[in-house]
Amino acid sequence: MISVDDARKLVLALARPAGTEEIALDQGLGRTLVNPAVAGLTQPPFNASAMDGYALRSAELPGPLQVIGTAAAGVPYEGGTPPGSAIRIFTGAPVPDGYDRVVMQEIVEREGDRITVRNAGENLNIRPEGNDFKRGFEFLPQRPLRPADLALIAAMNVARITVARRPRVAILAGGDELVPPGTEPAPGQIISSNDIAIAAMAEEAGAAPEILPLARDTEESLRDRFARAAGADLIVTIGGASVGDHDLIAKVAGDLGMERAFYKLAMRPGKPLMAGRIGRSAMLGLPGNPVSAIVCAKLFMQPLIQAMLGLPAGPVLQQGRLAHDLPPEGDRQHYHRARLSAGDDLPLVDPFPDQDSARLWLLAQADALLMRPAHDPARKAGEKVQFLML
Ligand SMILES: Nc1nc2c(c(=O)[nH]1)N[C@H]1C(S)=C(S)[C@@H](COP(=O)(O)OP(=O)(O)OC[C@H]3O[C@@H](n4cnc5c(N)ncnc54)[C@H](O)[C@@H]3O)O[C@H]1N2
Ligand code: MOO
């Protein structure tokens, strides 16, 4: 069995770039820019008023000053700025060159067309031209685009963006015991839940998932599903990865020419994970136990998708402190489902006493996975530990 770190390197090496496509900016949420967005203009394009009030010269305060015109957003003041003058101005309006300050109307005394300002304070209330960005500014965040990124790119006057194509992920769950949610299970059957979770995790990472119809425990059924998955950037199988008589994934994938990168790793849960390539597609064979499948997807499938998108591959280990004592760890790197709470310096990590890899309710209550290396000695409450956010 190989280590989790070695397995991760082999999985990331399976990534081929997803390719690119051009899309409208309003379709860009969660997508990954591959070419920088380049600002077509300077923002703000002029010295802009940050307040509703009066534009004037600091040197002439406290006045009185004569109000000789008005500037509003979209309607600049075109006149001169003679000594002793001010103009009425509104937020977002260009400040004429002759003035160096805007005062809020709340602190201005006005009588007819004359104003006096006794306590103007420090703030000039002018946003200088180009203080956000200048024409030619380039933006290329190394993460999926967020709403504020879309606003920035729009303000840069860019309407279409080039993004990484969403990798196509075919999800192949199988087992004679499985029926889809909403179906009445016959004796011995259970509801298939893994495919829903794994598709959601693929989507979360930026891929376009497709859930294939549940496969039966026959080579013929699995071959049919693999044929439907052909052409996907990534094929993710779920279940049938272990050593039982019905665990056929390795056999069928092998018959189809899978080049195996590894099978089985020193990890808990998730020991029977398999990875490799079939034709054009990368392939991950996740174990069937629901928690094992989800933990493996977090540690291997999502990073692989991120690598295909050209993004730094997560997840990032964080530091916390143990909430209670733990016995020594076994011979596999162990990811414990755990709750987080606020601690004095670092978050407190409280692993559940029951770590059964089939219990989804426990996983749904977990905030994090506490990571313990293989052969980690017994640990005391308060010791530093590493965890992943779920
Ligand atoms: N003799 C051994 N038995 C097992 C070993 C072992 O080393 N020797 N490893 C155990 C470990 S660890 C795991 S994990 C499981 C993984 O087995 P498979 O990947 O072959 O998964 P299945 O046998 O197909 O299913 C396991 C379990 O999960 C349920 N399942 C499967 N698919 C789904 C789904 N889509 N939705 C919900 N639940 C699913 C399935 O019904 C089984 O209960 O093997 C251990 N055994
Ligand atoms: O490693 Mo299995 O994945 O314990 O449940």
Q: Is 292 close to ligand 1, i.e. is its CB under 6 Å away?
A: yes
CB of residue 243 inside a 6 A radius of ligand 1:
yes
pLDDT value of position 248: 87
**Three-class HEC string of 277-301:** EECCEEEEEECCCHHHHHHHHHHHH
The residue among 310 and 248 whose pLDDT is bigger is: 310
**Is residue 287 within 6 Å of ligand 1 at its C-beta?**
yes
The confidence score (pLDDT) of residue 199 equals 98
Q: How far apart are CA 186 and CA 166, in angstroms?
A: 38
Answer yes or no: are the C-beta atoms of 210 and 232 closer than 8 Å: yes
| 3-class DSSP assignment, residue 21 | strand
- CATH 2.40.340.10 range(s) for the chain read 318-389
Closest residue to atom 4 of ligand 2, CA basis: 269
Q: How would CATH label the architecture of 318-389?
A: Beta Barrel (2.40)
Q: How confident is the model at residue 119 (pLDDT cuts 50, 70, 90)?
A: confident
Q: Would you say the CB of residue 292 lies under 6 angstroms from ligand 2?
A: yes
Ligand nearest to the CA of 190: 1
The number of beta carbons lying within 10 Å of the beta carbon of residue 201 is: 21
Fold (CATH) for 22-42+139-164: Molybdopterin biosynthesis moea protein, domain 2 (3.90.105)
Question: Does ligand 1 come within 6 angstroms of the Cβ of 60?
Answer: no
Q: Could you read off the pLDDT of 18-54 as tens digits, one per residue? A: 999 999 999 999 999 999 999 999 999 999 999 999 9
DSSP 17: -
What's the 350 CA to ligand 1 centre distance in angstroms? 27
| Nearest CA among 316, 371, 304 for reference residue 10 | 304
What is the ipTM, given to two decimal places? Answer: 0.96
Ligand 1 centroid–CA 307 distance in Å is 28
CA of 357 to the centre of ligand 2 (A): 6
For residue 39, what are the CA distances in angstroms to 32, 36, 134, 245, 290?
18, 9, 7, 60, 46
Residues 72-85, mean pLDDT to the nearest whole number: 94
Q: Copy the structure tokens of residue 159.
A: 């309407």
pLDDT at residue 240 in the model: 82
Tens-digit pLDDT profile for residues 261-274: 999 999 999 999 99
Residues 261, 264, 266, 267: what is their CA dihedral angle, to the nearest 10 degrees?
100
289 Cα nearest atom in ligand 2: 5
Is residue 289 pLDDT above 80, yes or no?
Answer: yes
pLDDT score, position 63? 85
**Which part of the chain is CATH 2.170.190.11?**
48-127
Q: What are phi and psi of 162, to 5 degrees?
A: -100, 120
Query: Looking at the predicted structure, is the pLDDT value of residue 9 above 90?
Result: yes
> Which band of pLDDT confidence, cut at 50, 70 and 90, is reported for residue 17?
very high
Mean pLDDT estimate for the chain: 95
> Would you say the CB of residue 285 lies under 6 angstroms from ligand 1?
no
The yes-or-no verdict on residue 125 having pLDDT over 90 is yes
Residue 170 pLDDT greater than 80, yes or no: yes
Q: Which pLDDT value is given to residue 314?
A: 87
Q: Return the CATH architecture of domain 4-17+166-308.
A: 3-Layer(aba) Sandwich (3.40)
pLDDT(244) > 90: no
Residues in the chain: 390
Q: pLDDT value at position 241?
A: 79
Q: 3-state secondary structure string, 82-143? A: CCCEEEEECCCCECCCCCCEEEEHHHEEEECCEEEECCCCCCCCEECCCCCECCCCEECCCC
Span(s) in the chain for CATH 3.90.105.10? 22-42+139-164
Q: Tell me if 270 CB under 6 Å of ligand 2.
A: yes
Please check the confidence at residue 247 and state whether its pLDDT lies above 80: no
Give the right CATH number for 48-127 from 3.40.50.300, 3.40.50.880, 2.170.190.11, 3.40.50.2020: 2.170.190.11
pLDDT of 245 over the 80 cut: no
